[in-house]
Amino acid sequence: MKRGKLMILAALAFAALATASWLSYPPARAAAPPPPPPEKTSNKWVPILTLGSSLDVGMAQVTGSKYQVKTVKAVAQLETDYKDMARIRILVPIGTKHVTKRLRRVPAVSVTGIGDYTIKK
Amino acid sequence: MRWKTAMRSWAAPVLALALAAGVGSGAAVAGPFDGILGKGLKVAGIGFLVKQFGPGINRVINKVLFQHGVEYKGATKVVPIISVGNGAQIGAAQVQGEKTRIKKVRYVGQLELRLGRIRGKSLIPVHSITPGKKGSFSRVTGTGVTAIIDFKI
């Protein structure tokens, strides 16, 4: 009689152990790591050259991550108008002075202000 | 099959831009968008189209820039832009910056000034433009503009 009870207890314990991992599926996830602190940003004024519907030169304020802003040398702006009704402008912060070779766009940097002078309309 | 998927990904934003251009072109000819009500409708219409098709327009801009070798690999987003100063314009602006900051940007405000051949522009990505709302008109620092398409109101 005692032996029979022990056998039942052992079988129950085995069953509990075998199903424990299955019951706890999906496994508890580890707590998500806290988001990284926002990167330090900075501003800088660089020369801007506008090409397209007019030729303009001036200065542009670029903003972005502190490290990337340091590498910006100038901003190239491509501008086009359609019948004085629609305007399309693309602003490209570049990190090379030799713009004739290749435009190397600086990532994580964008434009927040422009002041320029129209040379040719 | 591939061209069908490509068409689907391009068609919606291109159609949205074409619609916006169509609504925007109402200013050039005498038509239904001349009055105050029409102008209000144009602002609301273009704003709605940009809000709805922003992600698609963003993809199109990124693909066009990629084809010209000046693509940006990072977080970008297209939001409505409202320009005041040298007339009034409404359209779409592509903003870029850190992902967490970009999520906060809802609109871009542009202040334009022109004095003869000299012009000045200030591009301000903001949380909201609802008057009286907390944080309204406050600048989202660390973000800026990389492309603009706008139409005269």
Number of domains in chain B: 1
Please write the tens of the pLDDT for every residue from B18-28. Answer: 555 555 555 44
Let me know: does B87 contact B120? Beta carbons within 8 Å.
no
- Rounded to 10 degrees, the C-alpha dihedral B81/B139/B119/B113 comes to 80
Q: How confident is the model at residue A100 (pLDDT cuts 50, 70, 90)?
A: low
Q: Do B146 and A111 touch (CB under 8 A)?
A: yes
Q: What 3-state DSSP class applies to B4?
A: helix
> In a mutagenesis test of the A interface, which of B46, B83, B94, B98 is the best target, namely the one with the most A β-carbons within 10 Å?
B98
- Residues in chain A with CB shorter than 8 Å from the CB of B91 are 86-87
A-B contacts at Cβ under 8 angstroms? 111
Across the strands, what pairs with A76?
A: A49, A92
> For B56-104, how does the pLDDT look when each residue is reduced to its tens digit (9 = 90+)?
888 888 888 777 766 666 788 999 999 999 888 899 999 988 888 888 8
ipTM: 0.72
Closest alpha carbon within chain A to B68: A103
Structural domain boundaries enclosing B36:
2-152
Taking the CA atoms of residue A54, residue A87, residue B92 and residue B37 in that order, the dihedral angle to the nearest 10 degrees is 140
pLDDT at B67: 74
CA distance A73 to A77: 14
